[in-house]
Structure 1
């Protein structure tokens, strides 16, 4: 009700508890900050952010060209995947992935996290397909975020998805540290580099901290451009 305004919170407290001594407004500021930190930490820990990215032969003039389409997810301290999807992903392929592959990828995630987490994806055409949305409605009910879902995901907002602002860039730096000669080697590099990332101490804690700063900046900018505030 006070919307983070400590003076308003103090006034409401005095209005409702006339027989009590009213705490200093600094206490209300502290309470608001602790609540905000708790909400943000839970948000970063309970949402599984997902995305796909294309990896091709490293820069240069090569006669043989190849590419792979990589899916990955992050929830809490867990990197999910990678998994290789068709280069031209359609709704049926994506539905099959959600229904048959994703549950296996999530087996190492604690049951409590799986039961409480929200699934997030962007508004790509395959994600928006009716068959994909029907599955997400059945499996996650109101606990999924995306176009056409119970919680819309803002379009063109890579600064709020940790795979966009952190993971893909870091992964590509590792994958392309030396030239890639063929598609099998590319796949092997991606898998090995993901293992390096998932085994880096506290890396996902730092990602969540960055996410909290970004969300706070987005709110401060009233949903507008906020990169200059990060």
Structure 2
């Protein structure tokens, strides 16, 4: 209102729209704003806002919005149904208050392992060590590795997987159901990706065979090391593995130290840190989305699908996923050893 009055006052003194905009530049008045204000005054004879068209709000009032904001601030776990019931309004109205007026969304609560104080301290100190290593050797490729158990059953995410229908009762059972067995057949696979976009072989571990230090050393000796030796590395590479018992065994640690050019020992990798391993936070999820679209009749069919999805994994996706590792280390350090997602 004050700005409009100032524009009209200068206009009455004979100033042009361009001169008014220059004089009132501190109020962020443009030439078009001055022209529109003058035109509207000549048409209506007033600087007041015009009456808004349509029916005025009767439900999503400022009072309801502020009351809802206050309730959510005190307890953000309230459901939309409960908030609507307490306010005496419909759920759709309350949903609009939350989404449009308060700009909020409903997020799923996350389940996490409760970290001990010692684990948090160790995560923080080792995350700093890894971050400093990456800063010192940015040109070296890191081979990120991990194992995963894959079952023949179709993957299902209850908060994402949906089916569209007018009446769910009329949808055939096979179309609306993902069946589960008590003990589905499965296969354990081992794989790794590098920060330069390479992929190790996808290695299947026979069903029922426990991955101990003997089997793991045999796999590293016969498959992983020969693969690494045949690759072209611009500035050498570093081998990463988590803290699984077969990885932290003394014989395995000594072998890795002897045969890999660079190796992150068990004293370097942060404990309970799947959120820092590229395979865990990115690659396995991509593979699961590709392979878990259906249920397989046997393990052999599952292996074929896994190999096809692994071969189809794009190098650029791998590089981008690996590029996020350093950012995640910084988040863990900023969180004083807490989780980064």
Asked if TM exceeds 0.5, the reply is: yes
Aligned to 1:123: 243
Corresponding residue SS for 1:81: coil
* TM-score between both structures, scaled by the size of structure 1: 0.70
Q: 1:137 to 1:213 in 2, by over 3 A?
A: closer
Instruction: Give the CA deviation at 1:210.
Output: 2.1
Contact 2:253/2:265 (CA < 8 Å) preserved in 1? Answer: no
Q: 1:210 to 1:41 in 2, by over 3 A?
A: farther
Instruction: Within 5 Å, give how 1:137-148 maps onto structure 2.
Output: 137-140=257-260, 143-147=262-266
Aligned to 1:173: 289
The structure 2 residue matched to 1:53, chosen from 148, 158, 178, is: 148
Deviation per CA, 1:189-212, whole angstroms, max 9, x where unpaired?
A: 110001111xx2621232133223
Instruction: Give the CA deviation at 1:69.
Output: 0.8
Q: 1:194 to 1:108 in 2, by over 3 A?
A: farther
Deviation per CA, 1:73-115, whole angstroms, max 9, x where unpaired?
A: 11121121211124411111111111111123335531445xx
Aligned to 1:42: 138
* TM-score between both structures, scaled by the size of structure 2: 0.49
Q: 1:41 to 1:118 in 2, by over 3 A?
A: closer
Contact 1:217/1:226 (CA < 8 Å) preserved in 2? Answer: yes
The structure 2 residue matched to 1:195, chosen from 296, 308, 311, is: 311
Aligned to 1:209: 323
Contact 1:89/1:126 (CA < 8 Å) preserved in 2? Answer: yes
Aligned to 2:279: 163
Contact 1:40/1:212 (CA < 8 Å) preserved in 2? Answer: no
Aligned to 1:105: 227
Q: 1:212 to 1:201 in 2, by over 3 A?
A: same
Instruction: Give the CA deviation at 1:62.
Output: 4.1
Q: Distance in 1 between matches of 2:323 and 2:254?
A: 33
Q: Distance in 2 between matches of 1:171 and 1:219?
A: 29
Contact 2:275/2:339 (CA < 8 Å) preserved in 1? Answer: no
Q: 1:40 to 1:166 in 2, by over 3 A?
A: farther
Q: Distance in 2 between matches of 1:222 and 1:131?
A: 33
Q: 1:65 to 1:222 in 2, by over 3 A?
A: closer
Corresponding residue SS for 2:312: helix
Q: Which has the higher contact order (CA 8 A, sep 6+)?
A: 2
Q: Distance in 2 between matches of 1:63 and 1:223?
A: 37
Deviation per CA, 1:147-169, whole angstroms, max 9, x where unpaired?
A: 2xxx5201111111110000111
* Unaligned ranges ≥5, structure 2: 1-131, 155-178
Corresponding residue SS for 2:199: strand
Contact 1:57/1:65 (CA < 8 Å) preserved in 2? Answer: yes
Q: Distance in 2 between matches of 1:170 and 1:223?
A: 27
Q: 1:208 to 1:61 in 2, by over 3 A?
A: closer
Aligned to 1:33: none
* Unaligned ranges ≥5, structure 1: 1-35
Aligned to 1:32: none
Aligned to 2:189: 70
Aligned to 2:205: 85
Larger Rg: 2
Q: Distance in 2 between matches of 1:124 and 1:145?
A: 14
Q: Distance in 2 between matches of 1:95 and 1:163?
A: 20
Q: Does 1:136 align with 2:256?
A: yes
